[in-house]
Every structure is written in C-alpha cells, then in structure tokens.
Amino acid sequence: MYNNKVEICGVDTSTLPVMKEKEKEQLLREVKLGSKTARDKLINGNLRLVLSVVQRFSNRGENPDDLFQVGCIGLIKSIDNFDITQNVRFSTYAVPMIIGEIRRYLRDNNSIRVSRSIKDTAYRAMQVKEQLINKNQKEPTVSEIAEELGIPREDVVIALESIVDPVSLYEPVFSDGGDTIYVLDQVGDKNDDRNWLDEICIKEAIKDLSDREKKILSLRFMQGKTQMEVSEEIGISQAQVSRLEKYALKKIKS
C-alpha cells in the first residue's frame, strides 16, 4: 500500500525526496538560528522517514493518513528538540520520537478502558522517558524512570503495561519469501518436551553467527528497525544488510 505511486494525505509517496546527511546537518544548524525556510525543507526532506515508521503500524487497522499526520507531528518535535551538539544522527533521534507520537495516538484511541490515574502515570512516565533519552542519548531503565517520578518501580510497570495495545494472534512477526510467521505460530505448549531442545538448538546456532550478523538480527527483529535504518547505524549499504540478514537466517534454519 506504500509502494510506487500510492498517495497518503494527498502526497505521492514516490516523489518524496531523499535528503543527504550533510544537508540535514546544515539545515538543522539553520533551524537553530531561527530559519523557518530551513525547518520546512527539513520536514519535507524527512517525510520518507515518517513513512518508514508508519509501515510498522500498517496491520493495526488504523487509517494510514491519520498515522502519517501524527508521525509528522513527531518529526516536527524531533526537529525542534534535536541537539546539534550531540554526535548523533538526526534519524537515530527522530525515529523513537515519531514512534512515541504514534503510540500515544493509538493509546488515546484505544477501546480498552484504563483508569484515569493509571493513564496519567503512564503519560508522565513516557514524558520522563523521552526527557531521559534526550539527556543521556540512551533508553532509560524502568528504575530510572521510577526514581525520576518518585514512585515505586512496580507502579511504573503496571502503568506502562496498561496502555500497551493488545496484539492479534494473526499479526505477522516475520516474512521470508512469502512464508509468513504469525504470533499464533509462536504460541507453544509448555508441556511440549521438544521446546527445551529447540531452544538449545537455536541458541547454539546463534552462537555460530558473526558479531555483525548478530547485530543485524538484533536490530531487525528485537528492535524492529528497517534495513535502511540498520544500514545507517552500522555503516554498510542496505543491499549488504539484506544479504547478511538472509545468510544469517539461512544458517540458523540449517
């Protein structure tokens, strides 16, 4: 639905520009000096980034136009709050901000009722989390969030868990050449004697992977990053990421 000439919010996605990192850095410096023109250019030049994040939420039955608009709000917040003195790529900072904005929107439109007090605690925890990420440039622990809020760690866990969207058993978690694996496929029987043996086999297979292959699989399937985001983070092309990912999965399967 997002390929070729599909329109989203009236925008032809095939015509979205791709902005180079040097150009982003220059525009960010101009934004900090108060240039509205640079800010508009930076927003338009990063709409593809928003689109890549929206794709992660494509199976939730939400209107893609709505998600795209909410993602753009996250992008704008990223531009306004980005610290150019930090040695961090803009996309590395912006993606979590865009994801957070979309998740907030989904929580606010969740049909499952959660008490107002728990919801307020969850929102304050999310705000503190973003503040700590901005300050330390890394994901904070639950204990750090609890300490900042001055409440028990358990209260933070309960609050954050209460606003997590339920996952459908038919939500795809991996697809390779048309062979899709759904959440339902990963629900096993704890009485199955083969479970422990399968787990050992998988762990042994992963041990045989190179550090780069382990890193790629971790970023792709544990952190949910796209191949383009992985390529930017580890400094190789998207084609190399795709090749290494397929090779690593093939080694594990065999």
What is the DSSP secondary-structure string of 11-47?
A: EEGGG-----HHHHHHHHHHHHTT-HHHHHHHHHHTH
Interatomic CA distance for residues 150 and 127, integer angstroms: 14
Q: Name which of 81, 99, 98 is nearest 137 in CA terms.
A: 81
Check whether 3 has a pLDDT greater than 50: no
Domains detected in the chain: 1-109 (1.20.120.1810), 110-166 (1.10.10.10), 174-253 (1.10.10.10)
pLDDT at 13 over 70: no
Identify the pLDDT of residue 144: 92
pLDDT at residue 196 is higher than 60: no
pLDDT of residue 2: 41
Q: What is the pLDDT of residue 4?
A: 42
User: What does pTM read for this prediction?
Assistant: 0.43
Residue 197 reports pLDDT greater than 70? no
pLDDT band, very low/low/confident/very high, at 10 (cuts 50, 70, 90) = low
Q: Is the pLDDT of residue 67 over 50?
A: yes
Say what the pLDDT of residue 189 is: 54
Q: How much of the chain, in percent, has pLDDT values that exceed 70?
A: 75
Q: What are phi and psi of 17, to 5 degrees?
A: -75, 155
pLDDT above 70: residue 8: no
Q: Is the confidence at residue 235, as pLDDT, over 60?
A: yes
CA 248 to chain centroid, in Å, comes to 22
The H or E element containing residue 120 is helix 116-136
Per-residue pLDDT, 180 = 62
